[in-house]
Amino acid sequence: MAGNLVKIKMGRLDKIFDSVENGSLFKDKYVLQANYFPDNIPHRDKQIDQVASILAPILRGDRTSNLFVYGLTGTGKTLSVKYIKDQLLKRYKKEDTKLRILYINCKLKKVSDTEYRILAEIIKQLGSEVPATGLPTDQVYAKFVEILEEEKQSLLLILDEIDQAVKKISDSFLYNLTRLNSELSKTQISLVGISNDLKFLDSLDPRVRSSLGEEEIVFSPYNALQLKDILKKRSERAFNKGVLEEGVLEKCAAYAAREHGDARRALDLLRISAELAEREGSKKISLKYIDMANSKIDKDKIFDIVESAPRQFQLVLNSIINLNKGNQAQKTLQGTKINRIFTGDVYNNYQNLCEQTKTEILTQRRVGDLIAEMDMVGLINATVVSKGRHGRTREIKLSIPNQIMEKVSGILSERLMI
DNA sequence: CGAGATTCATGTGAAGTATACCTTTAGGCTTAA
DNA sequence: AAGCCTAAAGGTATACTTCACATGAATCTCGTA
């Protein structure tokens, strides 16, 4: 009896394993993943050449112009710069001075947010240590300078997502960095800033702008054809022959092109489509999986945010959902009349919710910021409107798809113990 | 009736506060030779 | 004497709060036709 049961179970699992082992659509899934580093970067030759020619003097040990690289997400900025970094290091031969190229992503959680942490990361990459917290910032600077003065070297600092850093800190950080050169006798620092905010440079202090933006390069978005080409190159390595149905690449490319030509999005779309197809035991990746993948990406993002958000954030979100539900009900009852949701409404509802859940009530000021955050991450759509005599406020629209509203609501109730 | 002044409900910015956490430092205690 | 532990001191990060000022169109006011 018991043996039978196990046998049945084994049989079922074997089937699952078999389907993954034999029927796999993937040849090499890694090729489609975000951290894959391709050995050539299509359609970016012009930009790569530009960057390379600006940075080339560093091979002679000269200081190069500071460089600023713009471009929306998924336009190959990071990839291209990293590629050039590798090439430079490969070519560098001079013995008497050392060449060091540091790549720092200012957006990564462990690095981001403070001048201190960025410096700490730089120092760590230079091969020294500094405590994660506890030291005054100027001491960290001193340590940085000390390391640089140890020996003659050229330093190229690549700061990715630099706008994130400056938004949190002030641009005085960049100012300090650009000025450091005059204090150093043996070492030259060159900066490469990467940002996807096109207006970023304008918002900087003029002194910083002129020194950081000595050279500028713009990475324009890929168009649908280029995206398709990229997908094609990668899919040849990623998939087994013949698993892609006609038009799949085109559709992925088209979707991603719609999102400002984001290549990362295109690749994600393709990979997730394939995963979905595989899970359903399909031998081919057909068009319908792309649509599924597309909505799955959106949904997962929402669940992620909602689930990991801090309690107060969840409470406020819950209030908005409550109000929205009320509106839906009214809509069906009374026809066309829709109450718009404003900050004040949300705050009132939120206060009630706090009483129910015995949570401390935050000030309206703070709740306003939380609402702004939700707008930022795309959970809601909030626009500032002036209602004339009735003041000025944000009009809030929920932008969670209806199909997952229930589930989001469920997660919230569970986490908030309502 | 129309131009300007008012007004409302909040947006927004700066600065301050509380709490949690971190390292360094110094002093006292333990331990092994 | 060396090593270890602990608490105090001095720092940062985070999540708020407080205070103060900014906003912009509906509405009010008042001079004018």
Tens of pLDDT along chain A (418 residues) come to: 444 444 555 566 666 565 555 557 677 778 788 778 888 888 888 989 999 899 888 888 777 888 888 888 888 888 898 899 888 888 876 666 678 888 877 665 444 455 666 776 777 777 666 555 555 555 666 667 777 777 777 888 888 877 666 655 555 667 777 777 776 777 778 888 888 776 666 666 666 777 777 888 888 889 888 999 988 888 888 887 777 888 888 988 998 888 888 888 888 888 888 888 888 877 788 888 889 998 898 888 888 888 888 899 999 999 999 999 888 877 776 655 567 899 999 999 999 999 988 889 999 999 999 999 999 888 999 999 999 889 999 999 998 888 889 899 998 888 887 6
Dig out the tokens for A47 from the structure: 């930009």
pTM surpassing 0.75? no
Can you give the distance from the CA of residue A133 to the C1' of nucleotide B31 in angstroms? Answer: 33
Domain ranges of chain A: 2-31+222-304, 45-219, 309-416
Please tell me the CATH code under which domain A2-31+222-304 is placed. 1.10.8.60
CA A180 – CA A157 distance, rounded (Å): 13
Quick check: helix, strand or coil at residue A252?
helix
Which residues from the 360-399 window of protein chain A have CB within 7 angstroms of nucleic acid chain C? 360-363, 365-366, 369-370, 386-392
Which residues from the 271-290 window of protein chain A have CB within 7 angstroms of nucleic acid chain B? none
Point out the nucleotide closest to A389 (alpha carbon to C1′): C26
Quick check: helix, strand or coil at residue A402?
helix
Are residues A139 and A119 in contact, defined by beta-carbon separation less than 8 angstroms? no
CA A282 – CA A24 distance, rounded (Å): 9
Angle at A260 between CA A256 and CA A264, to 5 degrees: 50
pLDDT at A23: 59
Which residues from the 312-331 window of protein chain A have CB within 7 angstroms of nucleic acid chain C? 312
pLDDT at A5: 46
The one-letter amino acid code at A98 reads K
Which residues from the 335-374 window of protein chain A have CB within 7 angstroms of nucleic acid chain B? 342-345, 347, 364-365, 368, 371-372
Among the listed residues A154, A106, A107, the one whose alpha carbon sits nearest the alpha carbon of residue A126: A154
CA A395 – CA A377 distance, rounded (Å): 16
Residue with tokens 């908030």: A416
CA A112 – CA A164 distance, rounded (Å): 8
Beta bridge partners of A402: none
Q: How many angstroms from the chain centroid is the CA of residue A33? A: 14
Measured from Cα to the C1' atom, the residue closest to C25 is A388
CA A80 – CA A77 distance, rounded (Å): 5
A308 touches strand C (CB under 7 A): no
A172 touches strand B (CB under 7 A): no
Q: How many angstroms from the chain centroid is the CA of residue A32? A: 17
CA A102 – CA A381 distance, rounded (Å): 38
- CATH level 3 topology of A45-219: Rossmann fold (3.40.50)
Can you give the distance from the CA of residue A84 to the C1' of nucleotide B12 in angstroms? Answer: 42
Dig out the tokens for A346 from the structure: 């949300």
Can you give the distance from the CA of residue A199 to the C1' of nucleotide B15 in angstroms? Answer: 27
Point out the nucleotide closest to A346 (alpha carbon to C1′): B10
Find the Cα–Cα–Cα–Cα dihedral A41, A104, A165, A45, rounded to 10°: -20
The CATH architecture that domain A309-416 belongs to is: Orthogonal Bundle (1.10)
